[in-house]
Every structure is written in C-alpha cells, then in structure tokens.
Amino acid sequence: MSRRHTDVAVLEAARECVATVGVRRTTVADVARRAGASRMTVYRMFPDARTLWSTLLTREFAEVIRQAEAEAAHLSTARERLVETTAGVVTRVAADPVVRRVLELDPDLLVPYIVERLGQSQRIAMVEFRRMLAEGQADGSIRQIDDNVGSYCLQLVVGSFVLAARVTEQEASAQAVLAELRRLLDAYLAPAARAA
C-alpha cells in the first residue's frame, strides 16, 4: 500500500507538522503535502482538522501507555505496576514532541478538557486505571475503591502533572517530583492496613 493511502502515514505527517510548528500553524494542506497525498484524501480519512488533531493526540497517548505498561509488566503487584506505569506515562507524555509543542504554543486548546469535558485521551486513561484498579483489588495490593471514582481521580492527578511539566522543569527537579508522585499514588492505593 502506498504511503499516501494510509491513515497511519497521514497521522505521522500530522505528528511531524505539529511537533515542528504546533496545531494552529499546521493546516490540512501541510499534512497532505508531507504525507504525499491530496487534501481530499486527508479529508476522506478525517472529516475535519479537529478530528485529525484529536486522533493524533489519542494515538500518541495510547502508544505512551503501551510503552509504559510494557516497562512495568515485570513488577509483582498490580499496585506497583499502576504506580510505575503512571510515572512512566507522565515522563513520556511530558517529553513527547507533539504534547510539548501543544503545551508551548497552543495550551488554550487543552482548556476545554480541563473545565468543560473529558477528552478521548482522558477516557483511555480512565479505562486503563479501572482495569489496573480491578487487578489490584483482585491481588489484594489495592484497597477497595469505586473503580469509576478512583479512575477519575487518578486521571485528574496525572493530568495535572502532565500539564505542569514545563513549570516543573523550571521550579523543581523533575525526578524528585516524579518520586513524590509515586509516593502519593502508592499511599492513595494501599490497603488500609498497609497505609497505617
């Protein structure tokens, strides 16, 4: 299949464009040109620019989760895996060139996902958190907690660490802050007997 006919190629072209100049300075024509496709081909795959950007960010986030989970898979309890996966996601998302460019140039695009509604990436995070919470409750490493409430609270915490990544780099040691995030999550998730 040629490069111009795959949505993966279009998303990769969009990634390169956004990582270079941000969302607002990237047009569908820029993406099409970089993908070696026509604008109409891009619009057939993604009905509008908003869908293209949303799909791109969701793809980036899903890949970051996959990588972080793979690195934490060897840990013995679900709580350890959740804590390390979360720390890995925060580290990777904060360093991701697309996310960094959006935070640098177009941070206002993220405001609706903080004050108005959840975005697709937040919903993906909540699904993953619900799964890991259930695994931790099954192996006894995570206290009993409503999966919906717990997953929502966890994505709120993680989102704040990601959104503050650039400020953290100026104000504190990123590694020290990440260590505190691990402690915060571990204490929040630990069964009552262990938390005492």
- Residue 196 confidence (pLDDT): 44
User: What class has domain 57-195?
Assistant: mainly alpha
- Residue 193 confidence (pLDDT): 66
State residue 90 phi and psi, 5-degree precision: -60, -45
Q: Topology of 1-47 in CATH?
A: Arc Repressor Mutant, subunit A (1.10.10)
Count of positions (residues) in the chain? 196
User: pLDDT below 70 — which residues of the chain?
Assistant: 1-5, 193-196
Domain ranges for the chain, please list them. Answer: 1-47, 57-195
How many Cβ atoms are within 10 Å of 177's Cβ, its own excluded? 16
Please give the model's pTM, rounded to 2 decimal places: 0.85
